[in-house]
């Protein structure tokens, strides 16, 4: 058994967005280290699928439906988890996503877009779409932290891990609201790290580069499986020349979650991007 397994053995982790590709892999990686997992997802069946995979590997997990847009739903999820686990050691705020009414269809604006019904420009973004993205990615993380972190107090070390994005430090084209919300997550990570320091609750974030998920697959792959124009741009600006795989995140995750490895790491966002942020394009 490695030191990571020893330090994480018997801990309890709550993971919002745990029914998704990336956070689902995080849930399974932690479970393999002996962590007890509460898998939260807006749809019960998505959370259950991940929990079942953990159980099949002789891990311990429960599945709970939770909509981070609704604080009552978060509180209800917490009450269900409390029937199994009275305190938590790790919180991963992984719920997030985009909305078509909060993104432009083109990278650059041209005046003739105003008269093109097939083009969604900056001037077509809706208040409802932008609010949805901001609430899902930022407010949802804050509300979830308010509810679940109360059960993380009084420990020698507890860890909140937010999921940021490479679009936070350098906003991607088209996804204006998503980029702004993830920048907010980076700021919230720093703020919370300071605010909770006296209570031994560390807060850090992981910023994935470009990973293929169910949410972005249609943007990155053509029907025949070939790369779209956007994908080719991404790969050309990623020195490792590939998309990330979900398991590429687990080393950073385990390091941040393990008090023996990252006890003095607090308030940082770790990029896991294949060198994307370091590459200037020349």
The DSSP line for 194-237 is: HHTGGGTEEEEEEEE--B--TTTHHHHB-TTSPBPHHHHHHHHT
64 SS3 class: strand
Q: What is the pTM of this model?
A: 0.94
Q: What pLDDT is attached to residue 6?
A: 79
Helix or strand holding residue 65 (H, E): strand 61-65
H-type helices in the chain, by residue range? 3-8, 21-32, 44-56, 71-82, 127-134, 140-148, 176-195, 217-220, 229-236, 250-257, 259-262
| Domains in the chain: boundaries | 3-272
DSSP 162: E
- CATH for the stretch 3-272: 3.40.50.720
Mean pLDDT by 10 residues, the chain (282 residues): 69 97 97 98 98 98 98 98 98 96 95 94 97 98 98 96 95 95 98 98 96 78 87 92 94 96 97 93 84
Is the separation of the CB atoms in 77 and 65 below 8 Å?
A: yes
Active site residues: 178
Asked if 204 and 256 touch (Cβ cutoff 8 Å), the reply is yes
CA proximity to 212, closest of 224, 225, 203: 225
């Amino acid at each position: 058994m490695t030191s990571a397994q020893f330090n994480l053995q018997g801990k309890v982790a709550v993971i919002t967005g745990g029914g998704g590709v990336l956070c689902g892999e995080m849930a399974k990686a932690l479970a393999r280290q002996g962590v007890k997992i509460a898998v939260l997802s807006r749809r019960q069946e998505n959370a259950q699928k991940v929990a079942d995979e953990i159980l099949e590997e002789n891990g311990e997990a429960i599945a709970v439906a939770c909509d981070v847009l609704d604080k009552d739903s978060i509180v209800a999820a917490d009450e269900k988890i409390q029937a199994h686990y009275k305190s938590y050691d790790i919180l991963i705020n992984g719920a997030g996503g985009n909305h078509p009414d909060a993104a432009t269809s083109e990278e650059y604006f041209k005046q003739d877009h105003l008269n093109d019904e097939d083009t969604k420009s900056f001037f077509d973004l809706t208040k409802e779409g932008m609010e949805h993205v901001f609430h899902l990615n930022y407010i949802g993380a804050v509300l979830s932290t308010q509810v679940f972190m109360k059960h993380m107090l009084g420990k020698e070390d507890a860890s909140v891990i937010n999921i940021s994005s490479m679009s936070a430090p350098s906003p991607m084209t088209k996804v204006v609201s998503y980029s702004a919300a993830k920048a907010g997550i980076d700021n919230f990570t720093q703020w919370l790290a300071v605010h909770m320091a006296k209570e031994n609750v560390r807060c850090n974030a992981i910023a994935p580069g470009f990973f293929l998920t169910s949410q972005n697959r249609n943007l990155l792959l053509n029907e025949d499986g070939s790369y779209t124009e956007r994908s080719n741009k991404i790969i050309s600006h990623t020195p490792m020349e590939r998309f990330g795989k979900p398991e590429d995140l687990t080393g950073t995750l385990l390091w941040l979650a393990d008090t023996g490895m990252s006890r003095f790491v607090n308030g940082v966002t770790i990029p896991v991007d294949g060198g994307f942020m370091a590459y200037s394009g020349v």
